[in-house]
A and B are shown apart, each in its own frame.
Chain A
């Protein structure tokens, strides 16, 4: 190692009267332990881990619902569950997966742990607010799921809760109210996490960590945070209106009192479409990091990537009514062109990922396989999204299995990226690697299972099978395709079991060291797991890859095919703007 960079400096000791950055090692010896430690912690890593574990449990619960749904559809006259149970199952499957798994896993789990470390911060900006987020999320999840234990069963109006089906006449009972209450709680938890991420990124970056040196994952989380703040309050307001309609006799969404049912759809999707990008952007970020690290190259087109993320955020606020094309009361051309345009930044990202791999040295670890699986599966989901953005094609496929297949391609891609994130960052969080053999098996089950699961659904949709039906007695020939899809779902289920097995098998077995992947960003500079306030020391930050620059000073990024100029003391010369 040459000394192109000056040696990492020790942070100065804290002044006596203040809580400071440095406070490591000894903190395990005092302070609460056990369950009390879990309840009172404000450490972003512990909160993030709680979020991660809770949301993976939610994924398993939601997955179990999905397997029951698929088993029911394995025959045209399935009798495994009743019609009303079926409605509860798909409602809770969608709700658990969207509200309680994908989002919280991304911004409450991995982002909560990684964003502060990636920018060299000691913790989130508001640690106690962060803890509150977790408690709201946990109680929200419990509230929503407890609907199953009420007399009328859980909510059964679909995860979108269209008015007037969701009013107190058509859906009486406390299951629906528990759904609304649970969603209010998790909604607030998301808002608080969004505030926290934005404030952390804006105020707690390490010296030299300029905005355009943040890792892509952190950039994406910042934009996700902004989108959360733009979108979630709308959902919260909508839920309160819905509750008032149900219990206080208002008629916001019901025709009888002069209300407008479609207003609910406007409100819901004004949150709902930004939400799909709130779900997607974190995983785009994870895949970006993984692909760069395992190709041993910088992110190709870093600035283009940031620009694409911002463009997606900008457009995502103007496309909500592509979910409402068939209402007949929205401005078709506007929403059509805006939705089509979102494909452009998405395409930029895909080409940048390929550019990152191009001429790299690709190491096929489980994390990398998951990221490539994500890339291919997301490509399929994105391309079918383009069809749906065209109103005539949407008229023809709306509310059929084609739409179900579209978003399952997308969200299964996100699941692959999520798994990649766990394999990639797991060692950083715990200090131990997961077993790669089982990991690769898990990947193949997940990837092949996903394609076998979604492809028949596309065809079924085109043959006219509507979504959210428990039986299809008039078209028994659909059984074959449904069986294939069920088979794919079983493979996906096996992959989930393999993941759990892997965690059990590898438990504290394969110590990872601090930087097992020769990774690039700041979180790999500290120990695994990181100390209480994350860093004992920080390297000089001169690019978006401080750890790589420190480990491979002779292999810095060639900004435009050229090596950067160096100053006399060996530091990269940067012209401050």
Chain B
């Protein structure tokens, strides 16, 4: 976890310094704000990882001497198949078509999206198909 945290924190730090120079020198706000937001986007997850990296013991993937058996066990739930990404994708497609061809495309668009939302949640509760 430490390296992950450091990568993000150092990136954020660099953006912060670069932005301090840029913003003070150019007085141009668009870039200043965007770079500032970039810095925050690095600090947010970076500090979270840093916080936990100091509190937990090294995971098997952070331990250079780990053997394969040390990491064995439950890794996570991986759904085998699911129709809901496709449903949600089609919903998003129709929502975008509504931007171009008229508001009535929102009906199938939002319909599919909401359906996918419920479907995927229920599927997640069951622990995934297949």
Contacts and interface: CB of A to CB of B under 8 A. Distances in A.
Nearest to B41: A230
Contacts of B14: 314
A159 to B, nearest CB: 19
Interface string A449-492: 00000000000000000000000000000000000000000000
Contact of B96 (A11, A143, A310): A143
Interface in B1-35: 3-4, 7-8, 10-11, 14-15, 18-19, 21-22, 25-26, 28, 30-31, 34-35
Interface string A12-31: 10010011110100010011
A209 B59 CA distance: 10
Contacts of B63: 207-208, 210, 576
B59 to A, nearest CB: 8
A331 B26 contact: yes
A202 B58 CA distance: 13
B67 A540 contact: yes
Interface in A175-224: 177-178, 180-182, 184-185, 188, 202, 204-213, 222
A132 B85 contact: yes
Nearest to A138: B89
A42 B88 contact: no
Contacts of B89: 131-132, 134-136, 138-139
B78 to A, nearest CB: 5
A310 B68 contact: no
Contacts of B67: 6, 9, 207-208, 540
A40 B30 contact: no
Interface string B77-118: 111111111101110110011011100000000000000000
Contact of B38 (A127, A181, A317, A542): A317
A549 interface: no
A294 interface: no
Interface string A315-345: 0011011000000001100100010000000
Contacts of A32: 81
Nearest to B81: A40
A314 B101 CA distance: 41
Given A11-B68, A132-B85, A208-B67, A178 B74 contact: no
A449 B34 CA distance: 40
A234 B109 CA distance: 24
B60 to A, nearest CB: 4
Nearest to B30: A266
Contacts of B92: 135-136, 139, 185, 188
A533 interface: yes
A505 B126 CA distance: 45
Given A42-B78, A185-B96, A207-B61, A234 B34 contact: yes
B28 A181 contact: no
Contacts of A23: 80
B7 A310 contact: yes
Given A19-B77, A132-B89, A208-B64, A177 B38 contact: no
B90 A135 contact: yes
A508 to B, nearest CB: 25
Contacts of B49: 202
A82 to B, nearest CB: 24
Given A15-B74, A177-B99, A184-B96, A331 B25 contact: yes
A18 B127 CA distance: 8
Contact of B15 (A125, A184, A314): A314
A571 B65 contact: yes
A243 B95 CA distance: 14
B66 interface: yes
Contacts of A42: 78-82, 85
B8 to A, nearest CB: 7
A318 B22 contact: yes
A123 interface: yes
A77 B42 CA distance: 52
B26 to A, nearest CB: 4
Given A19-B127, A143-B93, A180-B99, A39 B71 contact: no
A308 interface: no
A408 to B, nearest CB: 27
Given A132-B88, A135-B89, A331-B22, A178 B100 contact: yes
Contacts of B85: 42, 128-132, 134-135
Contacts of B77: 18-19
A263 interface: yes
Most buried by B among A123, A174, A184, A230: A230
A292 interface: no
Given A132-B85, A576-B64, A127 B79 contact: yes
A188 B92 CA distance: 10
Nearest to A219: B7
A317 B71 contact: no
Contacts of A317: 15, 18, 35, 38
Interface in A526-570: 533, 537-542
A-B complex: 9 closest residue pairs judged by Cβ atoms: A135-B89, A207-B71, A207-B60, A131-B85, A205-B61, A139-B93, A207-B66, A211-B3, A181-B96
22 contacts: A9-B67, A18-B77, A21-B75, A23-B80, A131-B82, A131-B89, A135-B93, A136-B92, A140-B96, A143-B93, A181-B100, A185-B93, A206-B71, A207-B71, A208-B64, A208-B65, A222-B7, A243-B99, A270-B34, A314-B10, A321-B31, A537-B68
Interface of A: 6, 8-9, 11-12, 15, 18-21, 23, 27, 30-32, 37, 39-43, 122-123, 125, 127-132, 134-136, 138-140, 143, 174, 177-178, 180-182, 184-185, 188, 202, 204-213, 222, 226, 229-230, 234, 243, 263, 266-267, 270, 310, 313-314, 317-318, 320-321, 330-331, 334, 338, 533, 537-542, 571, 574, 576
Given A135-B85, A135-B88, A140-B96, 16 more contacts: A31-B130, A39-B83, A42-B82, A127-B79, A128-B82, A131-B89, A132-B88, A138-B89, A139-B93, A181-B96, A226-B42, A267-B30, A314-B11, A317-B18, A338-B18, A574-B64
Interface of B: 3-4, 7-8, 10-11, 14-15, 18-19, 21-22, 25-26, 28, 30-31, 34-35, 38, 41-42, 49, 58, 60-86, 88-90, 92-93, 96-97, 99-101, 120, 127-128, 130
